[in-house]
Amino acid sequence: MRRIISVIILALFLLMNPTVFAIFQLEIYPDMAGPIQPGVEAREIVGFAYYQQPSSIIKLIPGAFFWQSFSISIKEKPEWAIVTITPSESIMKFDTRENISIVVSVKETAPAYEYGVIRLDIESGLYGRNKPLGKSLPSYPADRDIAIQAGYLPLLTPTTSGAREGKPNSQISHMITLKNSGNARSRLDFSVNVPEIDQEIGWSAQQPTSVFVDVGQTIDVPLTIITPNSFGYIDDWAQITVDVKVSSPLEPTSNNTATFTVPTTSHCVGSFVPGVPGGNNPGIILIAIIVIIAIIIFALKNGLSFIGKIRKKQNVKKNKDTSA
């Protein structure tokens, strides 16, 4: 009986003063993966909660007396960060650990390369019960800081000027409007793609030069399309695209880039005579055809007359030889 009373007294003492024996530990592993790409990436930061009873005496008490409660809340974070914690609260028995998952994402409006701190407020109760023995137990708050960095977002909003028409052997001008919708100053590199079937007909294009665009800035990039110079009448459409590669000037070798394809439509209609000034003018072409026909007629007429003169001369000579 005396032993039972001693155990009960010891249990009551431990319930009232558990921190003499209990250790609650929360560990968060630092994020070493670099900047978090805004609007795209969700980064998981892991850790664990650990509840330990180091004293062997405590093991004399039934384990049901020693359940540790804890809760984790977000005390402070950057405005551009989105944070979720799993689990945000739990109850553990001693000598166990529970994995903690903290998922962090970054809004598209986050300033590129800016650092921020997520401050977690951890509150651990003594046991799972809120009021054992009719008395409120104190809690043990603590903070944990997690450093994060917003990454670079290559984002572009393109618009085109619509379909454009031109005559053969001429230039068609398109205007491509580009807005830097990302979160940092960006470099734009261009690559014009003329389909092979259009190249065979004679379509080509001049490639725009690289430019730099600030955040929110809108620029107009001219694109010159050169129409075919095939002889005769032509009525052809060409779908020529422009690939715009968006990258950060601060990370010239980074793979964190994006390519946006901008389509253009061009129409070439009319007739063309190579080497003739104004050769893509139908009136000039008609005149040229008439001139060519006249030259042919003149050549034929003069040729026949010349042949007739030669034959006449030959006949006169033949008659003289016969008379002699």
Look up residue 87 and give its two tokens.
């689990």
Same domain, 17 and 127: yes
Same domain, 125 and 221: no
In this prediction, residue 278 carries a pLDDT of: 47
Would you say residue 295 has pLDDT above 90? no
- Domain interval for residue 91: 2-149
In Å, what is the CA distance from 269 to each residue of 161, 234, 241, 266, 324? Answer: 19, 5, 20, 10, 72
Would you say residue 131 has pLDDT above 50? no
In Å, what is the CA distance from 184 to each residue of 80, 103, 230? Answer: 15, 24, 46
Same domain, 142 and 160: no
Look up residue 188 and give its two tokens.
């734009």
Q: Of 252, 113, 115, 118, which Cα lies nearest the Cα of 183?
A: 113
* CB-based contacts of 201-210 (< 8 A; 24+ apart in sequence): 201/228, 201/230, 201/234, 201/236, 201/238, 202/227, 202/228, 202/229, 202/230, 203/227, 203/228, 203/236, 203/238, 203/240, 203/266, 203/268, 205/240, 208/242
d(CA 221, CA 239): 18
Q: Which of 149, 164, 184 is the last residue of a domain?
A: 149
Q: Which of 149, 178, 198 is the last residue of a domain?
A: 149
Contact by Cβ (8 Å): 175, 161: yes
Contact by Cβ (8 Å): 135, 18: no
| Cα radius of gyration rounded to whole Å, the chain | 43
Same domain, 6 and 91: yes
Same domain, 15 and 110: yes
Whether residue 94 lies inside any domain: the answer is: yes
Same domain, 129 and 262: no
Contact by Cβ (8 Å): 268, 227: yes
Would you say residue 322 has pLDDT above 80? no
Whether residue 278 lies inside any domain: the answer is: no
Same domain, 143 and 185: no
77-86, 231-240, 248-257: which is most confident: 77-86
Same domain, 36 and 127: yes
In this prediction, residue 31 carries a pLDDT of: 78
Q: Of 75, 142, 153, which Cα lies nearest the Cα of 113?
A: 153
State the pLDDT confidence band at 130, using cuts at 50, 70 and 90: very low
Q: Quick one: residue 313, left, alpha or beta (phi over 0 = left, psi -120 to 50 = alpha)?
A: alpha
State the pLDDT confidence band at 272, using cuts at 50, 70 and 90: confident
**Percent of the chain residues past pLDDT 90, beyond the cut:** 47
In Å, what is the CA distance from 230 to each residue of 47, 227, 272, 273, 296? Answer: 70, 9, 7, 8, 24
**CATH number, domain with residue 66:** 2.60.40.10
Whether residue 55 lies inside any domain: the answer is: yes
d(CA 293, CA 305): 18
Kindly report, residue by residue over 169-219, the tens digit of the pLDDT: 999 999 999 999 999 999 999 999 999 999 999 999 999 999 999 999 999
Count the domains in the chain: 2
Angle at 214 between CA 208 and CA 220, to 5 degrees: 35
In this prediction, residue 48 carries a pLDDT of: 86
Same domain, 145 and 6: yes
Q: Report the range of poorest mean pLDDT among 68-82, 148-162, 239-253, 303-317.
A: 303-317
Residue 115: strand pairing partners: 149
Higher pLDDT, 1 or 308: 1
For the chain, give the number of residues.
324
Whether residue 308 lies inside any domain: the answer is: no
Same domain, 69 and 125: yes
Q: Which of 149, 178, 199 is the last residue of a domain?
A: 149
The dihedrals phi and psi of 30, each to the nearest 5 degrees, come to -65, 150
State the pLDDT confidence band at 65, using cuts at 50, 70 and 90: low
State the pLDDT confidence band at 23, using cuts at 50, 70 and 90: low
Whether residue 321 lies inside any domain: the answer is: no
Average pLDDT, the chain: 79
